Every structure is written in C-alpha cells, then in structure tokens.
Structure 1
Amino acid sequence: MTRDPEDLSDVYGAETPEQSRAIYNDWAQSYDADNLARGFRLSALGAAMFARFMGLSDGPVLDAACGTGLVAESLRILGYGPITGCDLSPGMLAAARTTGHYAELVEAEMGSGLPFADDRFAGFICVGAFGPGHAPPESLIHLTRVTRPGGVGVFNLLDATWQAQGFQSVLESLVDSCQIRIEQRSGPFLPFLLAEPDLWSRLYVIRCL
C-alpha cells in the first residue's frame, strides 16, 4: 500500500490500537520506500543518540515499536545486540523478521503493557511511536519497568502535541518518583527532510534509576 506523502491523516488520526494495527499492516510492504523517499532520518538520529549515552555495551536492547527494522539496522552497524523488537502490527513484524537483525520479535501493544520481565534490557529505543494516534504516554511506564537501573532509553516527542497528549505529566511523575532521570532533551528538528515541514520533534534521553 503506497501512501500519499501529503496525506497521513489516517495514521495520525487512529483512535484505537486496532485501527493503528490495521493501518500499519496495510502499509508494511511500502513503509520503508515511502518514508525514505520523504527524507526520513529519525531512526538514524535515534540510534546515534542511543550510542552516545549508552556507550559500549553487550546487553540486550529493546527496539520498541520497531516497525520494519530501520532502527535495528543502525544499532547493529554500531555494534549493539542482541536486539528484541516489539510492535503492535504483525505486518510490520513480518517485515522486520526478514532483516535478520533481531534475536526476538514480539507482538505487543505498549499502552497495555510489555510481555517482558522487570529489568530485562540494558536500554531501549522507541522512535516514531508517540505521535497522535499512536502509543499513549503510559508506554513510558512500561518501558522503564523493563529497563535495568543505569540503562538508557531514547524516544522522540512532537513539540506541537506532547503536552496535550499527556507525556509531560507522565515524565514528571517518573522523575518525581525517582524512577528515571532526564539526561537530555534535544533541540527541535524535522524527522523528514523532504516532507512535513511543520512536524518539529525532539529526542529525549532518560536514565533508569
């Protein structure tokens, strides 16, 4: 399914996980081509930020909302692994499986929880998953739970909507309860170089405590 680069209203307007799952199942085969043609660079920037704060590590990494596997490719090139991926879309997971970058792939809807033990991962990365119509802010609670003390988490939020979506209050609660420390909030940037000129985003880095 090829999408009009100027019309992603259904992607951002999904109101339930079931709607999101159906959209991404349909989009899985052309997702990489559609997004890379629009100058998508979020996966590479997220992996670079992860490497900056994670340093050298052989611990397991969670690629949450992994999609087709673009982030895992960058992480593998940088030397990280083993990598577990999770996504709510079986179609996206099928595409990710063909890359050979993952030790494990699991279907999961982050807002409802993650099927992993406490403190399982040395770090996590979750980019492109927290816009309108996507994973809710409660996902950060679950991602923190499965990350070891001292571990790093990297994710992005959209300047125009992150507060209204409820991410600020969840982040403040995690900080106040001494579960995380915010290591960095990047300056604003455009995830797409050739499309969506008003979609300003920032990368966040947290340290789990």
Structure 2
Amino acid sequence: MQIDTKKWLTDISRHPEEVEREYDGISHSYDAELEAKGYLAHKHAATLIASHIPNRKSRLLEAGCGTGLVGQELAKRGFSNVTGMDISALCLKEADAKGVYIGTVKHNLLERFPFADGGFDAIVCVGVFSRFDVTRIKGIVTEFARVVKEEGKIIFSHREDLITSALHEVLDGIEAIEIEEVTAPLPYFSMDEHYKDIDIRFFILEKRIGSPKD
C-alpha cells in the first residue's frame, strides 16, 4: 500500500481501528515514501525537543511514534531513554528495529495510558492530532498531563490549517498544564504537492506544580 497524502488532507480517518489498519498497511514503505516526499516534521521536532530538554537522559514518552522517525532523530541528538507508543503493531516492529527506544507499547491514545502518574520527564507527539477533534485532543493532553512529572514538558505538533480558537480554549481549560510557547509555522513536507501550502506549529506545554491528581 502506498501513502496517499491527499487522503490525509481530505479523508481523515478518526476511528482507531481504521487508523490501525491504514498504518499497518503502509508500515513497511512508510520511511522511504516520506523521505521521497521531503518529510520534515521529525527533524523540526527533534531540534525543538533538544532545545527545551537539555538532559539527554530524561525519560521521554513518544506518543504515536509510528515507525520511529522522531526517535531516530532524538537518538542522533543523544537522547537514550525514550519509550515509544503507537496503535500499529507493524509500525512498532519498524520502530523496534531502529534500536532507538528502550521499549515500545501498542496502545490506543484514546484509552488510559498504561503508565504511572508522573513517570515521564516529557511527552512528545508528532503528526498525530490531525486524526482527532478538539474533544479527543483534550482527553489525550489530559492523559499526557497525568503521566508527565510536575514542570515536565508536553510537546506536540498540529497542522496550521487545523489550529482553531477552540483548540486554544480547550488547552487553556486543562487545569494541570499551561501553554509555554507556540512556534511559528514550519514546513511539513518540502516535496509533496498536496502539502506544499500546509505548515505545522509545535505547542510546548508545561505541567503546573501542585496539579490535581487524576
């Protein structure tokens, strides 16, 4: 199965089982196809993460890690304590083969994460939220806030064309976190005709001290 980036723009599959089937089907060719299309989000993400998280031994959770492209870039920058989580078992197989995660977990982001409260120093989520409406994003970010430590970072990307005032209102309404920064728009792909006018922004959130327990 080939990657259809036009479909990603116009026919976004939000049901977990559909997402799982889609990514299982493209897992084997995913890296090569994205490279051919000039995919850039993983490199932007790793550069941003490295600038906000100086301790390369920090416990990171990459939610929606896919085939491990972000993890691979993080490893190049010295991060050595990254756990990957994704809904696609076949994508996780590709991620495991890269040897950049201390472990991977197959899990649906819409369900409670199989991790203890405050178990991570930071959460990373790249190229995932276009699959979800703001209500589901709120639930996921709330769960991020549960498993990250106080003053820990939550860093996620979102497509510029999908960022609305409703998203900001939802994030502002999550008591446990505050928005530290929203980056300027960055190119998503450099050589894909369907994404030539689509940028992404990264949100950097911080968990407040004394946040209420879940």
Question: TM-score, normalised on structure 2?
Answer: 0.88
Partner residue in 1 for 2:189: 192
Give the percent of matched residue pairs that are identical in Structure 1 and Structure 2. Answer: 26
Once the 2 structures are TM-superposed, how far is the Cα of residue 4 of structure 1 from its aligned partner?
4.2
What count of residue pairs does the alignment treat as equivalent?
204
Could you list the runs of 5+ residues in structure 2 that have no partner in the other structure? 209-214
Q: Tell me the distance in 1 between the aligned counterparts of 2:61 and 2:161.
A: 27
- Alpha-carbon contact 1:69-1:99 (below 8 Å) kept: yes
Q: Tell me the distance in 2 between the aligned counterparts of 1:20 and 1:2.
A: 15
Partner residue in 2 for 1:142: 143
Q: Tell me the distance in 2 between the aligned counterparts of 1:17 and 1:85.
A: 18
Partner residue in 2 for 1:97: 96
Q: Residues 158, 8 of structure 1: CA spacing in aligned structure 2 closer, same or farther, 3 A cutoff?
A: closer
One-letter identity of the residue aligned with 2:104: L
Once the 2 structures are TM-superposed, how far is the Cα of residue 15 of structure 1 from its aligned partner?
3.3
- Alpha-carbon contact 1:59-1:122 (below 8 Å) kept: yes
Q: Tell me the distance in 2 between the aligned counterparts of 1:92 and 1:82.
A: 19
One-letter identity of the residue aligned with 1:184: E
Structure 1 runs (4+) greater than 6 angstroms displaced: none
Q: Tell me the distance in 2 between the aligned counterparts of 1:119 and 1:167.
A: 24
Once the 2 structures are TM-superposed, how far is the Cα of residue 29 of structure 1 from its aligned partner?
0.4
Does residue 1:73 correspond to 2:72, yes or no?
A: yes
Could you list the runs of 5+ residues in structure 1 that have no partner in the other structure? none
Partner residue in 2 for 1:3: 3
Does residue 1:84 correspond to 2:83, yes or no?
A: yes
Partner residue in 1 for 2:153: 152
DSSP 3-state at the match of 1:167: helix
Once the 2 structures are TM-superposed, how far is the Cα of residue 34 of structure 1 from its aligned partner?
1.1
Please list the CA deviations of residues 107-139 of structure 1 after superposition, one character each: whole Å capped at 9, or x if unmatched: 111122211111000111100001145893021
Q: Tell me the distance in 2 between the aligned counterparts of 1:13 and 1:184.
A: 27
Partner residue in 2 for 1:171: 171
